[in-house]
Amino acid sequence: MKEPRLVRLLKEEFPTREDRIALLLAVGIAGLFWFFVKLSNEFPTTWTVSLEYRLPEGYAFLELPPTELEVGVRGPGWQLMKHYFFGRKPRVRWALSPSPTQPLDRMRLISHLESSIGNGIRVEQIHHDPIVIRLDRAARRKVPIVPRVFVHFAEGYGFREPLRLEPDS
């Protein structure tokens, strides 16, 4: 089998095994320095952020608000890499007031995000239309359930005790 051209060239330029090992070591160290320098720069990326809402007692959503947001962030490569490998998904908890219509203030949302993320990572943009939360008083009713069920058994089979229905909610 014919050797690849690069291998042949390396063997000609670096004839001993020690020379080739020294070359690979120098290239590896240079690559490591390049990697360290590159990660000290700032990079933009997009994260998915969880939104959690705390409803006031006795209120419910008229329509469900989004539970996740796409957010454009920028930060040092080290911080972004650390967050990617070891960080949790960013989460914002939002306490709602009992007013019927509430817009989520974009600037407060960004400041909440930046305080939960920390470490020099900046939120540059939120990839979502303005969020307006609509609330209404929660209503509960008990509705009697009267089943129209006729249970028949074959000859020799029957109930051991009367049939009893219990709803799970």
**Which regions of the chain carry the CATH code 2.170.120.30?**
40-137
Residue 55: which of 46, 42, 44, 64 has the closest Cα?
A: 64
pLDDT in tens, the chain (169 residues): 678 887 788 777 777 878 878 888 999 999 999 998 988 899 999 999 898 999 988 899 988 999 998 999 999 998 888 888 887 888 888 888 888 888 888 888 888 888 888 778 898 988 888 888 999 888 888 888 887 877 777 887 877 777 777 777 6
68 bridge partner residues: 50
CATH of domain 40-137: 2.170.120.30
- What is the reported pLDDT for 74? 93
Cα separation, 65 vs 55, in Å, equals 12
Q: How many CB atoms lie within 10 A of CB 114?
A: 16
- What is the reported pLDDT for 19? 80
- What is the reported pLDDT for 15? 78
- What is the reported pLDDT for 26? 92
Cα separation, 49 vs 93, in Å, equals 11
What residue type is 63 in one-letter code? E
- What is the reported pLDDT for 73? 92
Q: What is the pTM of this model?
A: 0.62
What are the helix (H) ranges across the chain?
A: 5-13, 17-39, 77-86, 106-117
Contact between 126 and 106 under an 8 Å Cβ cutoff? The reply is yes
Contact between 90 and 50 under an 8 Å Cβ cutoff? The reply is yes
